[in-house]
Structures are given as C-alpha cells and as structure tokens.
Amino acid sequence: METKKLYIGGEWVDGPLSKPNINPSNTADIIAEYACGQADQVQQAVAAATSSWPTWAASTPQQRFNVLDFVGTELLQRAEELGTLLSREEGKTLPEGIGEVQRAGYLFKFFAGEALRNSGELVQSVRPGVWVDSVREPIGVVGIVTPWNFPIAIPAWKIAPALAFGNAVVFKPAELVPGSAWALAEILSRSGLPKGVFNLVIGKGSQIGKVLVEHPDIAGITFTGSIEVGGQIAAACGRNMKKVQLEMGGKNPLVVLDDADLDVAVQVAIQGSYFSTGQRCTASSRLIVTEKIHNAFVSAMIEKLGTITVGDALKKETHIGPVVDQSQLDKDLEYIRSGVSEGARLACGGEVLKRDAPGYFLAPALFTDSRPEMRINREEIFGPVASIIRVKTYEEALEMANDTPFGLTSGICTKSLKHAQHFKQHAQAGMVMINLPTAGVDYHVPFGGRKASSYGPREQGSYAKEFYTTVKTTYTMAG
C-alpha cells in the first residue's frame, strides 16, 4: 500500500515509521499508510520555515491572495472527493464531510481577502511635525497543532490566516486522521508558495508537538485540542516567551424555556448534541429545561431519536456516523456507566450497535433526571451523549448554564425577546446561539470561548490577525 509522505522544505520525505489510517465505519478498510515523523524532522521543518520566512514576509498582498485563492478554489472544486475522504477517515456523515471541505475552501477565500485588507493606522503625534503609524507585521514561524474532529476546517482556519499575514508554518495534524490534512498539504505544495514556507510533519503530539513548543525559532503556537495538553502548551509557551492561542473543551448548555417552539427546540438539541457524533467542542451536552415544557420536550426528544439512523458515514441513510475510534468509544461508554451509577435515568440509547462491517457505532444517549454535579454534567465527554437538567425558572436555568469551568458556546430556545436579550448579555461564553444549535459556526466571524475553553486571541474573521501579527509603531519626522 502507498505511504503518504511528510512535506518538509518543499520536498516529500519518508518518516522512520508509518501508520495506517483506519475507517471507523469499517475497521477492515485501510485508507492509506501515512508517514510519522520524528524529532529531527521537526527540527528540519522549523529550519526550512525559518530560512524561507523572510521571502514570504516580503511578498505582496497579491501574491498571498493568489496562493490562498488557489487553495480555496481547488478545495471547493474537489469538495465531494475530499469530503468523502474526510467522512471515511473521521466518521462524520458524507454531507457533514462535504460541508466541512466547503467550509475550508471558503476559509481560504476569506483569508485571501484578508491579505488585501491588512491595513494600519496613521495618527498625528502629540509632538509638532511628527507622524505615527502602526502596522501589522507577521510574527515569524507558527507551529500549528490540530485535532482529529475537524480534519480540514481547523487546519484551514489556522493555516490560511498564518499565510495571509506573511508567516511560515510547521503543521502537525492529528495522527489519528491525517488524510484530509495530507490532501490539504498536497494542494498547498502546488499553490505557488516558496519552498519551506509550509511544512507538514505528521506524528505523535507528545513527540512532534513537544519539539515545536520548545523550539526557539517558533514564534507562536496555535492549538485546538484537550484542556490537559493545552495547559502544558501554555506553560511551555510562557517559559519560552511564545505567543499562544488555545481552543479546548466545552460543556455547552442549551436552555429550553417554557415558551420555546417545541419543534425548533428538539431540532436544535438533536443537531447540537448528536450530529457529527457529538464530537465537537461546541456540542450541547447539558440540556437545561424549565418545568412546564420539560415532559413534552423529553417525549419529543425520545421520539425524534427513535427516527435517527446510526451507521456507515458514507451511506445515504445515515444521520450519525461512528465514534472515531475504540478509545473514544470506551470513554463514551465509561461516562454512560457513570451517569447511570450516579443516578441519572438513561432514557434512550447508549448501547453499542452492530452494523454490516466492524465499526464503532454507538446509539445516541439521552439522560433525564440528571443533576448538575454529576460527572456527565461537569466533564467534556466528546461523544453522542446529552443529559437533561430540569429547572423551575429562567433565572435558575441561566445560573445552571454558567455553572461550569468551560465557556465556549451557550444556547437558548425561547420566543421571548426579553429572555433572549438577557441571556445574550449574561451567558459566560464566547458564543451565544439563540434558537440555533450550539455547534456549527460561520467561517467569517470570530470563534472562541471564555474560562477554561480558550486562551489567547480569538480565531477566525477579522479578529484572526491578533494572533498572527505583531504591531510595529513608527514615529516619523520629516528630515
């Protein structure tokens, strides 16, 4: 079987090891072997990026636009093919996979435009005859570390702004799901970038990521992943004076008030909690429901879940694909057991399902009668598991929604403008969704959270430049 290589200094190179990329819908299906790099290859990638960076930093906005627009155009043209690869390796459904590739294409197009919009500021000094301008310059070589759950959109929303603002990149995708990242790297290799500006090193976070975080020539690390690893990266970046941007977990609440449209609330809860197999940091896992609508909401949720098909991600009839691998499935099942043993009622789902091919299929689980202090309501599960917490009033719901160490997204279903407006102001989260799922965000606006969910500047939209640039202020006196 073909082994896909690493991309370092503009060359495709082998790693000392390779690993199979396994389809979670059918573990007998091996997509390809992917090379795994080692520490000295990260050193080579950083060296290549460091020496080519000045050329890219000096490129014109037009050159940057052309590179990013080329990548965006090709992603959009190949959305079906690459979306199929994405669904095959990660397990989200085909429409979700195609949609994610399209999102990546639009992200590249958006940041192609940002390269042209990188404006500065000119003000008159407080001293006579002096002018002061502030411009944004690239920070240097950026280390990009991405998770398995969005194998192309998250790489796109980090790589595109890094390049748009004139930085060089060493990219380490999740080794569990390297196919989409590799395909993106292959497109970048033909995009007109000078050799060495973009490098791909696949491998274990504990090895590759560690070298990046400690390397003196890396100016900043942007990371999406677990809170444990995020904390280690922040500490290392602090020690080594690097910029750092972290996107980590969530325990996102969806409040359903008595006056909500029941159909909308159920649709929003199902989509937010279970689609993409619940494997999103933006997933709603705590459904906080006021008492008058509670019983109707529970019945409607159970009825709706009864119509959901879990199966092979590539099959047309599938609504929810498999869990990504055995260890995530074990984790999901462990949380389901803990919910039951702490006294929540497993109203439906939660069992492993058999399908034609061997895969990691789990029936979406809904807990009722759960209490806020239970582990299923405190810790991020990252699977198709949600629990209902019953409350009396809006005020109690808001308090419960904010009662978490996380603060990524926070949702509410209500027809009351008063409550929606109040919730928008008082939700302790980076993103608020009103009558919309907590997951599924636009590509052109800021993304990020508060508290333990995020650290450092926001990603995406016009805010992305905060991380990928540094400001230079120049005082000029006509000589």
Rg (CA), the chain: 23
Report if residue 284 touches ligand UN1, rule: CB under 6 A.
no
Query: How far apart are the C-alpha atoms of 285 and 277, rounded to whole Å?
Result: 12
Q: How far is the CB of 234 from ligand UN1 (least distance, A)?
A: 17
Of the residues 44, 59, 149, 273, which one makes contact with ligand UN1 according to CB under 6 A: 149
Of the residues 8, 22, 211, 281, which one makes contact with ligand UN1 according to CB under 6 A: 281
Copy the structure tokens of residue 227. 């809170």
Query: How far apart are the C-alpha atoms of 322 and 356, rounded to whole Å?
Result: 13
Report if residue 274 touches ligand UN1, rule: CB under 6 A.
no
Name residue 260's amino acid.
Answer: A
Of the residues 150, 198, 423, 443, which one makes contact with ligand UN1 according to CB under 6 A: 150
Query: How far apart are the C-alpha atoms of 278 and 423, rounded to whole Å?
Result: 24
Q: Under a CB-based contact definition with an 8 Å cutoff, are residues 139 and 95 in contact?
A: no
Contact track, ligand UN1, 234-273, x by CB under 6 A: -------------x--------------------------
How many residues are given for the chain? 479
Q: Whose Cβ is closer to ligand UN1: residue 35's or residue 229's?
A: 229
Report if residue 440 touches ligand UN1, rule: CB under 6 A.
yes
How would you list the strands of the sheet with 385-391, edge to edge?
345-348, 365-368, 385-391, 284-290, 252-256, 409-413, 431-434
Q: Whose Cβ is closer to ligand UN1: residue 281's or residue 313's?
A: 281
Query: How far apart are the C-alpha atoms of 128 and 228, rounded to whole Å?
Result: 53
Report if residue 441 touches ligand UN1, rule: CB under 6 A.
yes
Of the residues 46, 365, 439, 464, which one makes contact with ligand UN1 according to CB under 6 A: 439
Q: How far is the CB of 282 from ligand UN1 (least distance, A)?
A: 4
Element (H, E) at 224: strand 220-224
Copy the structure tokens of residue 48. 């290549």
Report if residue 280 touches ligand UN1, rule: CB under 6 A.
yes
Report if residue 102 touches ligand UN1, rule: CB under 6 A.
no
Site stretch for ligand UN1 (CB under 6 A), options 15-23, 258-266, 274-282, 462-470: 274-282
Residue 434 has a CB neighbour count (10 Å cut-off) of 17
Site stretch for ligand UN1 (CB under 6 A), options 14-22, 227-235, 435-443, 466-474: 435-443
Q: Which of residues 186-225 bind ligand UN1 (CB under 6 A)?
A: 224
Report if residue 106 touches ligand UN1, rule: CB under 6 A.
no
DSSP-derived pairing of the beta strands 409-413 and 252-256: parallel
Which phi and psi angles does 469 have, rounded to 5°?
A: -135, 160
Residues known to be catalytic: 247, 281
Residues that bind ligand UN1 (CB under 6 A): 147, 149-150, 154, 224, 247, 280-282, 439-441
